[in-house]
Structure 1
Amino acid sequence: MRAEEASGTSAAGPGTGPQPGAPKGAPGGAKKYALMVLFPFVMVMLLVSVYSGAMHSPSPKDMPVAVVGQTAQAEKLASGLEATDGSRVDVRLVSTVAEAEQLLHDREISGAFALPTTTDSAAVLYTAQAAGASQATIVESIFQPVADAQHLDMDHKDVTPLPTSDGMGIAVLFTAIGWMLAGYLVVTMVSSGAPELSSRRRMVPLMAGWAAVMSTMVWLLVGPVIGAVDGHAWALLGLGWLSVFSVAMAQTFFARVFGPLAVLPGIALFMFLGVPSSNIMMSIYTVPGMFAFLHEVLPLPAAGEALRSILYFGGDGVGGHLAVLGAWAVAGLLLTTGIDRLRRRGKGRATAEAEHITAESASAEALAAA
């Protein structure tokens, strides 16, 4: 062997072969840099386009409201409001204030306008601040011109007020956001930083325990520590556990499919699309129609509405929202199970083919030797 070969160099001179610490080839480097830029680019585009597109110009559309009364004047007002405002409101006529208040409690209407019962009394606008502070403001902006046109004073009655500790109703939103973050971020970190824990057998109990811990911590913060939420400890702990666990199971499936980029569909579904469709920061009747659909199917709206039902409406209507969260948990688990089985079968077939090829090669070598 020549001296240069023994020393690991060639006649072409030193440094021709791969050197320790040398940068990778251009294709690999280009892919790495492209992925580095892609993540922040997509995040910014999602945030700006979704939030601005949904909330830059809120305007009511088919907002359900009621006019209270059995008189001809009430009927005329209801039909006139429907004709004047067109698609802005969906007006119904109800007979009594008690009926209107029940509809507000059930969140089937956003507000109710009652004409004066005597010549010296005022009209009354009934709203439920706990169903959305911004929604109550929009209802007032709809009916104040009606009262002004008829030279009526208008009193306001809030049938379900928000607590003084949370006059804007934002505790519900940020509690639900905390649950979403706890669910999808931990799966992303485990999948990239500790892949040995990503098997379904390990991930399910791990996420069940994590959901219990984070549900407790979030409740401690918004309840005893900050005081934004009062009471309902066991209900909030249970809802928090289900919210975190359901998002974690869904994110586990995304991690199987998208790998390190799973954070993108996760943050898009659980945050960027979830906030405008939550019906908490802004009324669902003031955002584009797509978000009204997403309000019925995404985890953040389900968690937020369930929490609001528990805190302010005695749990009425919470069942449907819990069903949405449960569906995300079950779907994530089933889809993850399915994709794991498909991959195992694929690996099994590849192993069988490799063994077959090895056996044929061994047979050919034996025949050649004979």
Structure 2
Amino acid sequence: MNTPVTATPDKLAQRRTFAGVMIMPLFMLIALPLAFIGLFHSPSPNHMNIAVIDSSPASTGIQSGLSSSVGEQFDVTLQPNASSAREALANLDIRGAYDPSTGELFTAGAGNVQASAAVQQVFAPIAQSQGIDLTVVDTNPLPSGDSVGSGLLYLGVGSIFGGFLTATVVAIAVPGLARKWQVTTITVMSLVAAAVQVFYGWKLFGMFEGQAIPAFFTLFGIAVVCGLVNLGGIGLIGPAMIPISLLIFMMLGIPASGLAIPLDLAPSFYGAIHPFLPTSSGFDALKRIVYFDGHGIAGNFVTLGIWALIGAALIWWGSHRDSKPTENVWSDPELDEAVVATGAAVAVG
């Protein structure tokens, strides 16, 4: 007769540790490819805003004909003159504007080189049919230190990790640290992270010119918001907050920022979530500050401010809730350390 085997407390703890640790890689291998493949797979224009400058009798006909032929890929409007077209480009309201009287195509390369290329493909045949040469005028060119426009993305990622990893360490590796010192540590490390990124972008790679100070405060804002939200969440639900933070800040926030692939070349889902996420809003503000003189950044900073308040509320809630211990998988210190170590390794890798 077989005797049932009773699991010892050590074996139960070992199983809980294994199950907890496996949550992180399983989550990453499922969610990360889905988020990024959805973005990078076959990018194509999706209601990309372009314009025809109303500079000749042919302008209205070109605009209406183009609207009929491009379908939902492009939204074609009229701009009254070249000056208004330049202003719309600076606000990132349009991707390009064609002047039928001169054959000039105004674009903003710093907005995104892929979008600018898509606009050129639309208007090149029109200029050819008019018998004139298409002349591309880049109103906001990328600097030589960031010729493909991806540098700001990596600087932003550095700031995310500056806040996110600091919060993870102070919340779990140093659990006895007073809350005010946890917040202070996150603030100081966010300042350091922002300073390092600005040094890279301004001095080392020449991506900034006169925008180093506003870029610094934007990168600091990204870092400290990520840190506060992650700290508050860990205080409430333990290391289970780590994959949630990675989902919000990295897996959704980065694709929805428009820096890797412009939102008007991506599925509509990314554009829909863009205004609501802290990192997508912060990255967009960074691009607008560095390359477009800060046009249209108010909404981005409102979003960052709301997420900062969310982080503060989570920290307050965790500090004032009932501290009675509960029996759950996250209450094991051995499990906490294992999950954090796995999460940090996966995130950095």
TM-score, length of structure 1 as denominator length: 0.80
Cα drift, residue 151 of structure 1? 4.6
Contact 2:233 2:314 in 1 (8 A): no
Paired with 2:152 and 2:203, the residues of 1 have a C-alpha distance of 15
Alignment of 1:112-191 (within 5 A): 112-117=97-102, 123-191=103-171
- 8 Å CA contact 1:188, 1:262 repeated in 2: no
- Residue 35 of structure 1 is matched in structure 2 by 20
Aligned mates of 1:208, 1:176 — CA distance in 2: 16
Of the candidates 305, 308, 320, which is equivalent to residue 326 of structure 1?
305
The CA distance in 2 between the partners of 1:69 and 1:217, in whole Å, is 46
| Correspondence list, 1:6-155, <5 A | 24-25=10-11, 27-117=12-102, 123-155=103-135
Higher gyration radius (CA): 1
The CA RMSD over aligned residues, in Å, is 2.3
* Distance of 1:273 and 1:43 partners within structure 2: 12
Cα deviation for residue 176 of structure 1 reads 1.1
Aligned residues: 321
More displaced 10-residue stretch of structure 1: 98-107 or 319-328 = 319-328
Give the partner amino acid of 1:306.
A
Identity %: 26
Query: Partners in 2 of 1:195 and 1:79 — Cα distance?
Result: 64
- In the alignment, which residue of structure 2 is the partner of 1:299? 278
Q: Name 2:259's counterpart in structure 1.
A: 280
Report the CA distance shift for 1:149/1:256 in structure 2 as closer, same or farther (over 3 A).
Answer: farther
Q: SS state of the match for residue 66, structure 1?
A: strand
Determine if the alignment matches structure 1 residue 205 to structure 2 residue 184. yes
- Whole-angstrom CA distance in 2 between matches of 1:269 and 1:325: 13
Secondary structure at the counterpart of residue 87 of structure 1: coil
Q: Distance in 2 between matches of 1:104 and 1:236?
A: 21
Structure 2: which amino acid aligns with 1:134? Q
Per-residue CA deviation, residues 160-198 of structure 1 (Å, 9 max, x unaligned), is: 11111211111211111111111112111222211112x
Letter in 1 for 2:34: S
Q: How far off is 1:60 after superposition?
A: 1.0
Q: Is the 8 A contact 1:134 1:281 kept in 2?
A: no
Per-residue deviation, residues 324-347 of structure 1 (Å, max 9, x unmatched): 212111111013212432325x68
Indicate the structure whose relative CO is greater, using CA pairs within 8 Å and at least 6 residues apart. Answer: 2
Contact 2:145 2:205 survives alignment (8 Å): no
Of the candidates 253, 259, 283, which is equivalent to residue 232 of structure 2? 253
Are residue 194 (structure 1) and residue 174 (structure 2) matched?
A: yes
Runs (5+) with no aligned partner, structure 2: 1-5, 326-349
Report the Cα distance in structure 2 between the residues aligned to 1:309 and 1:36, rounded to whole angstroms: 40
